[in-house]
Amino acid sequence: MALKIVVYKPLPEDVLDELRRQAHVVVLEPALAQSREAVAEALGEALVDADGAIGASIKVTPAMLERATRLKAISTISVGVDNFDLPDLTRRGIVLAHTPDVLTESTADTVFALVLSTARRVVELAEWVKAGHWHGSIGPEQYGIDVHGKTIGIVGLGRIGGALARRAALGFGMHVLYANRHANEAAERAYGARRVELPELLSQSDFVCLQVPLTPQTQRLIGAPELRAMKRSAILINASRGAIVDEVALTAALADGTIAGAGLDVFEHEPLPADSPLLAMRNVVALPHIGSATHETRHAMARCAAQNLLDALAGRLTRNVANPEVQPR
């Protein structure tokens, strides 16, 4: 019996062709008006007799897997695995693969773009020029703040956090503080990074960058007390997961000047509703979750995820496994 693979996110044609050479591939193509819930329901039906699945952006729940007795592996086209119940997958003997390496540099570029664009008010002033308001030399009303020589605090110094530290220290002469469960000695040697507890990082940093995965321990990690602990001149950057920040508290802190601004690539609910108060704030740069969204990186992620899946189905996947303790079916 041929392997059946379900694809639930668009893949480049060359990647699809490679999968089709080795398995029967079913591609879910939801209608434009179809809700995420309807897509999830269709995915659950498609998984019933599938051996593997590849995709992203859909929450895969235990209920969706109850009848998927043949399913051996899921490959997510992302580094984050918060759309899955890892203990449940492990109990069922389903391997979960992800793509932790190929998106590191592109995502770090996005984070630093948020640092620069918030500090120098790039988006706001570009719109100001387009609106025809530039009639002479600019004044203090249009000034931003320096980035070089400032202190950046990175919460989570893993792959992306380390790449961000490299850009900050070597490219902009920034002082790097970091909060992490474990010391990152390589970053300390190479970039002069100094490990501190979160309260010190918040109080000392000019830019606070969140680079932790979403877990029960990190959900709402940054709330009203943490925002009050930051400098009034500080900027919060979040390109990890939206739910790490209490958006209601953040909105209030931005409105009353508790902090100076925010650069956000992720939100608790995506897409961000058009009536979100964050979109009306001049001191907010909001992006549509573009962390790894370059042609090169998204193609590399898709190829990596496809190879992960094929290797997992063949019983030879030894890296990029999010639940390495699983006993495969």
> How many Å from the N-terminal Cα to the C-terminal Cα in the chain?
16
For residue 129, pLDDT beyond 60:
yes
Confidence of residue 1 (pLDDT cuts 50, 70, 90): low
pLDDT in tens, 132-141: 999 999 999 9
Which distant-in-sequence residues (6+ apart) come within 8 Å of 279 by Cβ? 272, 286
Confidence of residue 38 (pLDDT cuts 50, 70, 90): confident
Identified catalytic residue from 270, 282, 319, 329: 270
For residue 32, pLDDT beyond 60:
no
% of the chain with per-residue pLDDT over 70: 98
Residues 190/301/238/157 CA torsion (nearest 10 deg): -30
Identified catalytic residue from 121, 167, 241, 303: 241
Query: What own/partner pairs with CB < 8 Å and gap ≥ 24 does 123-126 have?
Result: 123/285, 124/282
Nearest-angstrom CA–CA distance, 234 and 117: 14
For residue 4, pLDDT beyond 60:
yes
* 8-state DSSP, 279: G
Q: What is the mean pLDDT of residues 16-24?
A: 97
Assess whether 241 carries a catalytic annotation: yes
Q: How far is CA 238 from CA 137, 208, 219, 327, in A?
A: 33, 8, 13, 35
Q: How far is CA 154 from the centre of its chain?
A: 15
Return the exposure string of 118-145: e unless at least 16 CB atoms fall within 10 Å of the residue's CB, then b.
bbebebbbeebeeeeeeeeeeeeeeeee
For residue 30, pLDDT beyond 80:
no
The predicted structure's pLDDT at residue 31:
61
Question: What does the mean pLDDT of the chain come to?
Answer: 96
The predicted structure's pLDDT at residue 36:
75
Which distant-in-sequence residues (6+ apart) come within 8 Å of 21 by Cβ? none
Domains of the chain, earliest start first: 4-102+295-313 (3.40.50.720), 104-286 (3.40.50.720)
pLDDT in tens, 260-304: 999 999 999 999 999 999 999 999 999 999 999 999 999 999 999
Confidence of residue 40 (pLDDT cuts 50, 70, 90): confident
Nearest-angstrom CA–CA distance, 259 and 118: 12
Contact 176, 154 (CB under 8 A): yes
Contact 195, 180 (CB under 8 A): yes
Nearest-angstrom CA–CA distance, 152 and 169: 9
The predicted structure's pLDDT at residue 33:
57
Confidence of residue 328 (pLDDT cuts 50, 70, 90): confident
Identified catalytic residue from 98, 121, 175, 289: 289
Residues 203/208/210/211 CA torsion (nearest 10 deg): -110
**What is the model's pTM?**
0.92
Contact 286, 237 (CB under 8 A): no
Residues forming beta bridges with residue 222, ordered by sequence position: 245
For residue 142, pLDDT beyond 70:
yes
Nearest-angstrom CA–CA distance, 209 and 224: 16
Q: And the tokens for 110?
A: 């996005």
Q: What is the mean pLDDT of residues 11-20?
A: 97
The predicted structure's pLDDT at residue 272:
95
Assess whether 299 carries a catalytic annotation: no
In what side-by-side order are the strands of the sheet with 24-27?
A: 24-27, 4-7, 52-55, 73-76, 95-97
Nearest-angstrom CA–CA distance, 302 and 308: 10
pLDDT in tens, 67-124: 999 999 999 999 999 999 999 999 999 999 999 999 999 999 999 999 999 999 999 9
Confidence of residue 29 (pLDDT cuts 50, 70, 90): confident
Among residues 118, 90, 34, 42, the alpha carbon closest in space to that of 326 is found at 90
The predicted structure's pLDDT at residue 145:
98
The predicted structure's pLDDT at residue 39:
82
pLDDT in tens, 192-250: 999 999 999 999 999 999 999 999 999 999 999 999 999 999 999 999 999 999 999 99
